[in-house]
Amino acid sequence: MSIFLPKLKQGDRLSSLQITICNVGSRKLGSYDDYGASGWNIFAPNLTIIGFDADADACDAANTALQDPSVTWTEEHIPLALSDTSGETTLYVTKAAACSSLYPPNEPYLERFASLPEFANLDFTVELPVTTLDQVCRDRGIGAIDFLQIDVQGADLQVLQGGAEMLNRVLAVQIEVEFSHLYCDQPLFADVDAHLRSQGFTLFDLSIARRVRRRSPICSTTHPGQALWGDAFYFRDLLQHDLAGLQPTPPEHLFKLACIADVMQFPDYALELLEYLTVNYGNDPRYNVADAIVEALSDFPELVAEGLDNLPVVARVRGIA
């Protein structure tokens, strides 16, 4: 749940903010895959969601659901597979379609773990065209992406490499990573992390999926299985430029980043950015959000009991308001 965005919305601070999400591997498996219904709709009608998936049926289903009158944002799912080049490639379709990949599953390795072969072993292969994120954005006139989400089962690094131009404008990335070779010869987390760091992103968090050995009747509560894959969350740390005395970041970029951090449930980073905006750009009413900060913190009874005025962040922003 967002902490600051509802207060910013009430104060009409979001009306001129345009947010574009690009979701590569956009098959909707549950509500957690539906950005429009999971908090991001607070930006509507200024929210655009562009999805890509190799499965045309999954795209058709997602687009059909968008005909619901409750959808107040712009969203489209495009049946395209993205990689680091344009051409033809093999799609390895697995027993569970959501595990399909441009890399063949590493079946001998998968066999060692519980509940993996049943989903990720190979069913059949198909040849299909691929293109790059940069190319499709040029073709469709997509000028910028604010939040990039990638979940393509081992080929995530290739999507990044094929989107070098667009990545320059991205503020936050959520990307699936693997810590072991679930697919043959795939890039691992270390490769993805090195690439994103080289592009100016900072790792903020990892959500990790674990599996125990198939034949083991025991499992530790301390280490409940091997970490095999997960989602990595990256942001641009735009304050580094300002605090290091480099060229200042435009305040509109800082504000957009704060809003994205909040909807992605990183409220401490959102608060740091909103405080910085208010203290350094508070003479411009667009970026003086002291009232929204105090109102949001007032929703926490424990903070109110301790006294909001005792919080350094409140003292700083109230000195500007």
* Nearest to 265, CA basis, from 218, 233, 298: 233
Provide the β-strand partners of residue 91: 126
Task: Please tell me the pTM assigned to this model.
Answer: 0.95
pLDDT tens digits, residue range 19-28? 999 999 988 7
Give the C-alpha separation, 130 to 12, whole Å: 42
The candidate with the shortest Cα–Cα distance to 65, out of 106, 37, 25, is 37
For 185-217, give one letter per residue: b (16+ CB within 10 A) or e: ebbbbeebbebbeeeebeebeeeeeebbeeeee
Give the Cα-Cα-Cα angle 3, 7, 13 (nearest 5 degrees).
120
What's the pLDDT score for residue 267? 98
Q: What is the pLDDT of residue 37?
A: 79
Query: pLDDT tens digits, residue range 227-248?
Result: 999 999 999 999 987 777 677 8
C-alpha radius of gyration, the chain, whole number: 21
Query: Considering the chain, what is the average pLDDT of its residues?
Result: 94
Tell me the pLDDT tens digit for each residue of 42-60: 999 999 999 999 999 999 9
Asked if residues 207 and 179 have their Cβ atoms less than 8 Å apart, the reply is: no
What pLDDT sits at residue 235? Answer: 98
